[in-house]
């Protein structure tokens, strides 16, 4: 067991109390994290404010070079952090697990380093010159979830520092250790105070709440559930913070009658079960046309039954356990309820500890909780439809609006249907594929603002227009 402090002003800071982080595959203790008090948060914000004085005055080239140095550090320490991530989160080292997450983190960091927001000349004529500048905001508060903790930390930290801001990050209490280690290695490449991390069990003190209302923080970037996102928004109102909120989803996939079921089974499976379904933009409801319904169900079962589930630290595992008890209980409740209404095609019963096999339940309808709620786990409800207008209406009948997909041999028709889905990202014949040059965000209650690309970078700045 190892102990992890916090990192404030470039120095390790221990708290009077700690909390334990366990491996969901075995229950073994992975390490003890520092349990921050509000005064630790104040110290981190003060350090970030001091660092902002010089960091915000760096030239664009200096900021770019510093971000490139961060990329090199992530690459250098990727395997070490992947091992720690698997130990605390449960996802496998291989497949779309920890090594994949670390290589994604490095790729996103690299792309973000390469972006810039140059001065825009809006007008330059006899009547005058009008220039649009992008200015850093100050201290950015980042709060991250437990599903892709390292990747999401990079999504928050890199655009913030690339645009001259400084950061205080608070990871989820379920997965704080890989973020602490990430911030330690990032600090090897940056001046003290530019990136700080505080950790909290969320019980002793509500550090996330304190961040959202902290007068020294100018922007919150939050990734997590809709319910907590609303609290962040409310707490941020008094100090008029800028907000980027990446929240939950209940993405629908719509399968049209012209598909080849066997050809799409693998894509459908990983669309729903990436990271054991614990992914914001995973496919969480599958609507299949009656003409191909039985064939699609059978092809999915054929593919899913061969996916190796096991302790993520074993090289052969491709899916691990559910990441924590709270999430396991939620998935079990939803699957138990769905099992009484629908037809369990595969799985349905928990395994040992926090393991839950890939579960496919057919013949469900809109009011079943596994369809209506975000399950965020390895259980996919399948719903039969006969009229595509009805499938579209059901897909849209939710407060969520993160992603959606349409599956068909006719890409043009699929794109037309996809454009009618009320969500921030639409995929054709795939689901959940995101990339660092394409803005990503939710509509309706799934969020506010976007991440990635120049549009995402701009959210870490205020506009100043100079008229001369
Ligand atoms: P969560 O909302 O329970 O927790 C997220 C973070 O908020 C954690 O760090 C937690 O400690 C912190 N927090 C708790 N109470 C708080 C408060 N009062 N104020 C501020 N922060 C507080 O979410 P989770 O269970 O960690 O993550 C799963 C959810 O995240 C799912 O709904 C998923 O869809 C969503 N998610 C969205 C995206 C996206 O990009 N849209 C990405 C990943 C996950």
pLDDT, position 147: 98
The ligand 1 site (C-beta within 6 Å) comprises 143-147, 170, 172-173, 202, 206, 208-209, 212, 223-225, 228, 231-232, 246-249, 280, 374, 376, 402, 442, 447
- Which atom of ligand 1 lies closest to the CA of 148? 43
- Residue 428 CA to ligand 1 centre (angstroms): 28
pLDDT tens digit string along 193-235? 999 999 999 999 999 999 999 999 999 999 999 999 999 999 9
- Residue 226 CA to ligand 1 centre (angstroms): 8
295 assigned to active site: no
pLDDT tens digit string along 111-145? 999 999 999 999 999 999 999 999 999 999 999 99
pLDDT-derived band at 2 (thresholds 50, 70, 90) equals low
Q: How far is CA 424 from CA 163, 176, 251, 269, 290, in A?
A: 24, 29, 10, 21, 27
Q: What is the DSSP string of 33-52?
A: EEE--HHHHHHHHHHHHHHH
Token output for 398: 């939710």
246 assigned to active site: yes
pLDDT-derived band at 290 (thresholds 50, 70, 90) equals very high
pLDDT tens digit string along 35-79? 999 999 999 999 999 999 999 999 999 999 999 999 999 999 999
Q: Which of 88, 184, 246, 374 is catalytic?
A: 246
* Model-wide pTM > 0.85: yes
* Residue whose CB lies within 8 A of the most ligand 1 atoms, among 89, 108, 145, 226, for a mutation test: 145
Other CB atoms within 10 Å distance of the CB of residue 465: 10
pLDDT-derived band at 1 (thresholds 50, 70, 90) equals low
Distance from chain centroid for Cα 110: 18
pLDDT tens digit string along 354-394? 999 999 999 999 999 999 999 999 999 999 999 999 999 99
Q: Under a CB-based contact definition with an 8 Å cutoff, are residues 254 and 233 in contact? A: no
Q: Under a CB-based contact definition with an 8 Å cutoff, are residues 379 and 370 in contact? A: yes
Mean pLDDT computed over 301-316: 96
Distance CA 185, CA 72 (A): 10
Q: Which domains does the chain have, with CATH numbers?
A: 2-247+443-467 (3.40.605.10), 251-428 (3.40.309.10)
The proportion of the chain whose per-residue pLDDT surpasses 90, expressed as a percent, equals 99
Closest among 270, 253, 346 to 302, alpha carbons compared: 346
* Residue whose CB lies within 8 A of the most ligand 1 atoms, among 33, 41, 223, 224, for a mutation test: 224
């Amino acid at each position: 067991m190892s102990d992890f402090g916090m990192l404030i002003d470039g120095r390790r800071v221990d708290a009077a109390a700690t909390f334990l982080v366990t491996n969901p595959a075995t229950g073994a203790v992975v390490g003890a994290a520092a349990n921050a008090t509000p005064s630790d948060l104040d110290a981190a914000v003060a350090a970030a404010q001091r660092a902002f004085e010089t960091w915000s005055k760096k030239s664009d080239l200096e900021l770019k070079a510093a971000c490139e140095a961060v990329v090199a550090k992530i690459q250098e320490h990727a395997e070490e952090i992947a091992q720690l991530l698997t130990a605390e989160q449960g996802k496998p080292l291989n497949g779309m697990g920890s090594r994949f997450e670390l290589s994604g983190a490095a790729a996103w960091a690299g792309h973000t380093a390469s972006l810039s927001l140059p001065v825009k000349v809006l007008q330059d004529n006899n009547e005058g010159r009008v220039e649009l500048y992008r200015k850093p905001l100050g201290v950015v508060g980042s709060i991250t979830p437990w599903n892709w903790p390292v990747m999401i930390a990079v999504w928050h930290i890199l655009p913030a520092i690339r645009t001259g801001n400084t950061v205080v990050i608070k990871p989820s209490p379920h997965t704080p250790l890989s973020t602490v280690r990430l911030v330690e290695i990032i600090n090897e490449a940056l001046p003290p105070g530019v990136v700080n991390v505080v950790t909290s069990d969320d019980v002793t003190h509500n550090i996330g709440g304190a961040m959202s209302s902290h007068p020294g923080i100018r922007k919150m970037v939050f990734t997590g559930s809709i319910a907590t996102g609303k609290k962040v928004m409310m707490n941020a109102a008094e100090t008029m913070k800028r907000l980027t909120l990446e929240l939950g989803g209940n993405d629908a996939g719509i399968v049209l009658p012209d598909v080849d079921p066997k050809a799409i089974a693998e894509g459908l499976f990983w669309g729903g079960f990436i990271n054991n379904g614990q992914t914001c933009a995973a496919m969480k409801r599958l609507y299949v046309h009656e003409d191909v319904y039985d064939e699609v169900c059978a092809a999915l079962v054929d593919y899913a039954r061969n996916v190796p589930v096991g302790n993520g630290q074993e090289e052969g595992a491709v899916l691990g356990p559910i990441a924590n008890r709270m999430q396991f209980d939620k998935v079990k409740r939803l699957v138990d309820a769905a099992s009484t209404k629908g037809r369990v095609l595969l799985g349905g019963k928990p395994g040992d500890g926090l393991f839950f096999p890939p579960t496919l339940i057919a013949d469900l309808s809109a009011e079943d909780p596994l369809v209506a709620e975000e399950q965020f786990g390895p259980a996919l409800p399948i719903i039969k439809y006969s009229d595509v207008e009805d499938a579209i209406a059901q897909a849209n009948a939710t407060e969520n609006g993160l992603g959606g997909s349409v599956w068909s041999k006719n890409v043009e028709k699929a794109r037309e249907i996809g454009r009618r889905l009320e969500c921030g990202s639409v995929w054709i014949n795939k689901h959940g594929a995101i990339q660092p040059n394409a803005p990503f965000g939710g509509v309706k209650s799934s969020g506010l603002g976007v991440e990635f690309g120049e549009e995402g970078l701009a959210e870490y700045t205020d506009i100043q227009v100079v008229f001369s």
